[in-house]
Structure formats: structure tokens, C-alpha cells
Amino acid sequence: MDFQYYMPVRIVSGEDCVKKNARLFRELGEHVLVVTGKSSAKNGALEDAVFAFNLNGQKYTVFDRVPNNPTVACVEEGARIAAECHADCVVAIGGGSPMDAAKAIAMRARQAAPEGLFAHAITEDVLPMAHIPTTAGTGSEVTPYAIITNDEKQTKTSISAPSLFPVYAFLDAKYMACLPQNVTVNTALDALSHAVEGMLSVRANLITDALARESISLLWGEYDSLLKGEYSAQSRRNLLHGSVLAGMVIANTGTSPVHGMGYSLTYFHDVPHGRANGLLLPAFLKVCREKIPQRAEQIYSALGMDADTFSRKVSALLGRREEYSDRELQDFAARAAKNKNIKNCSAYFTQDDLLRVLRASLGDGTVL
């Protein structure tokens, strides 16, 4: 089979990697715009980055107003601040929300986009970026995607271009030492979903499959830690590395209707992104097993368990499930059926199939 695999991000991993590789930030430019959330950089990551900037004699401005599920307004505010401080580069510190916002800000700082963020054809002209993840889930530090809330369409929309890949990703699991249990579980489920959805993609290939299998092994190997909420430094590293590998998968394969359906849970009910995927993934995989049994079995084999055990184990991590009216689930299925990642899945999901997954996950408890 012919395929291509592209990964331009230089990944720098290890304890204190930001301080030890401080000189790499110098290459990005003189004035750094740091993009982060309210508290997500206050785990030592901002301190380490500032140490690096000071060592390099770089100036910096901190924009710390990125909300969860970043909005167009926050991107515009960040781009305005980038212009005011004449930023030459962007350093993102945080979970997927600040990392995604940083990409859109780095783009808007250089491109006017008069037709609107979502309609704009992104060019190569984007401020250079370095990403420092403080959650282990989205893999945004190695993807060319920024997922931004789209109020006009009442969903979350991915903007994407090769120029949105960061130049550097700095991976230090010490920033996750105090990550709350719910965020740890939700983000691990997001990463697991990326690896599984990547294997279900029509663009899956030899390299993405190898990355996905290793990712699943690292992430699911930490199942007991996730269930107990007890993490050694090695567990934190495994979760971080599992999430980066999964990011390297979706950077090339894209995601599946799991993400397409999950966006409605987040947009309308504020369900955290990773939790939304975790709620839907086991039932989705069961319907895949009906349609593409061989591929589904390869995934269960990578997980090291059968379909029912996987469903039970994910449920134990999620706790009490949200429930929605059937009418709402029908609306979510109709929305997901229009999402472009329907075509990206090697099993074809009709609107009825999506509704079956939604009902089994969040409705009448239909057993698949």
C-alpha cells in the first residue's frame, strides 16, 4: 500500500528538558508571547520557560486568558496582544485548550482572515511555536490542528494546516504531578481514543498503526493507576508518551465519528472533551466490530481484552454517566452525520448507526 507519513515537530523529552534545552527557545525569536490558561502554567512550566527566556535575553508577554474549549474571541484577543507586543514567536503552556488557542493566535498574528477564522485558507505565514503540554491527552503539541468553538454552527471546528505544527514540543511529565484525577482520566481517554480512532481511519498505515499500538500499550498499561488515582513518576511519563504517540497518529490519520459525536456533548453540555470520547468509544467500537470485524479484533487485541471487558473497564473509569433525552440524541446523531470525519472512518456509519452508539452510551442503555 502506498502511504506518506509527515511529522515536522522536533520532540524534546525528559525531566527539566525546558531548562536543559533553553537555547532552543532563542531560535524562535526575540519577543515571546506565552499563551496559557488561568492556572495550567503554574505547575513549574511557566517558571522553567521564564528561566529559559531570561538566559537567552528574550523578552516575553504572558496571555493567560485561554478558557477551556477556546473561543474565537480569545483567539482574537491573543492575536491583538501579539501585535501590540510585536511578538516574534509563541510558546504555549497548558492542556489542549491553550495549545490549540496558541496555534490560531500564531496564525492570526500574521494573517488577517477577513472571511473569518473557519473559512480562512491558512498559508505558511505563521509565528513559530513551541508547545509545552501540561496534560497527557490531546497530543496537540504534535498535530497541525486547532479545535475552536464554533458558535455559528453550534459545534467545535478544527482548523488545520501544515504551518500549524509547532517547531518544538517539550515533554516533561513533572508538570502533570498535580494534575487532578478527573483531568488525568479524561485526558488519558482522549489519547486512547486518538490511538483507536487512528487505527480505524481510512488513512491508517504501517507507521500510524505501529505508533497506535505502542500508544495503546502505554496508556492502557496504566489502567490500574487511572482507576486508583495513584501515579508514580513513571506512570505520568507513560501517559504523556502514550498521548504524544497518539497525537502523532491523528496528525496523519485524523479522527473518527467518536470525536464528531463528542463535540455535541461538549458544546451543549460542557462535557470535558476526553470524557465525551470515553463515553462513546466502547459502543462505537462494538458497531465497528459488526462492520469491519478483522480490524476491530486487531484493536481489541492491542487492548488485550474483548469488547465487553473493554466497555466495563472504561465505564469503571467514567463513573456515573450523563443521560440525555432521545430527542437530543437524535439531534446529536444528525449533527455528527454531517461531520467530515464520517468519511475518514473505514467503517461507514449512517445516521442510524450513530444513533445506536449514542443510545447505547447515553440513552436507554441499549446493549450492543
By a kind-dependent CB cut-off of 5 to 8 A, residue 137 interacts, out of ligand NAP, Fe ion, none, with ligand NAP
Which residues, other chains included, contact 312 with Cβ-Cβ below 8 Å and sequence gap of 6+?
none
Write the binding mask 54 to 83 for ligand NAP: x where contact by CB under 6 A, - elsewhere: --------------xx--------------
Task: Write phi, then psi, for 288 (nearest 5 degrees).
Answer: -60, -35
User: Could you give the CA distance from residue 368 to residue 285 in angstroms, rounded to a whole number?
Assistant: 10
Nearer to Fe ion, 32 or 200 (CB): 200
Q: Is 243 in the site for ligand NAP (CB under 6 A)?
A: no
By a kind-dependent CB cut-off of 5 to 8 A, residue 176 interacts, out of Fe ion, ligand NAP, none, with ligand NAP
Full DSSP string of 184-209: HHHHHHHHHHHHHHHHTBTT--HHHH
Nearer to ligand NAP, 97 or 264 (CB): 97
Q: How far is the CB of 57 from ligand NAP (least distance, A)?
A: 28
By a kind-dependent CB cut-off of 5 to 8 A, residue 339 interacts, out of ligand NAP, Fe ion, none, with none
Q: What angle do CA 184, 93, 131 make, to 5 degrees?
A: 100
Stretch that binds ligand NAP, among 33-41, 47-55, 228-236, 237-245 (CB under 6 A): 33-41
For the chain, give me the number of helices (H) and strands (E)? Answer: 15, 8
Burial class (CB in 10 A: 0-12, 13-18, 19+), 114: exposed
Nearer to ligand NAP, 122 or 368 (CB): 122
Return the SS3 of 83. Answer: helix
DSSP letter at 279 equals H
Question: Among 75, 92, 108, which residue's Cα sits nearest to residue 32?
Answer: 92
User: Could you give the CA distance from residue 275 to residue 140 in angstroms, rounded to a whole number?
Assistant: 17
Return the residue of 33, 35, 106, 135 that touches ligand NAP, per CB under 6 A: 135
Q: Is 344 in the site for ligand NAP (CB under 6 A)?
A: no
User: Could you give the CA distance from residue 285 to residue 262 in angstroms, rounded to a whole number?
Assistant: 14
Return the SS3 of 89. Answer: strand
E runs forming strands in the chain: 10-13, 31-36, 59-63, 89-94, 129-133, 145-150, 155-160, 168-171
Q: Is 178 in the site for ligand NAP (CB under 6 A)?
A: yes
Q: Is 48 in the site for ligand NAP (CB under 6 A)?
A: no
* Residue 171 and residue 179 in contact, taking contact as beta carbons nearer than 8 Å: no
By a kind-dependent CB cut-off of 5 to 8 A, residue 140 interacts, out of ligand NAP, Fe ion, none, with ligand NAP
Q: Is 156 in the site for ligand NAP (CB under 6 A)?
A: yes
Stretch that binds ligand NAP, among 118-126, 175-183, 282-290, 342-350 (CB under 6 A): 175-183
Q: Is 163 in the site for ligand NAP (CB under 6 A)?
A: no
Q: How far is the CB of 276 from Fe ion (least distance, A)?
A: 9
Return the residue of 175, 231, 284, 349 that touches ligand NAP, per CB under 6 A: 175
Q: Is 205 in the site for ligand NAP (CB under 6 A)?
A: no
Nearer to Fe ion, 63 or 332 (CB): 332
Which residues of this protein are in contact with ligand NAP, per CB under 6 A?
Answer: 37-40, 43, 68-69, 94-98, 100, 134-135, 137-140, 143, 145-147, 156, 175-176, 178-180, 183, 187, 190, 273-274
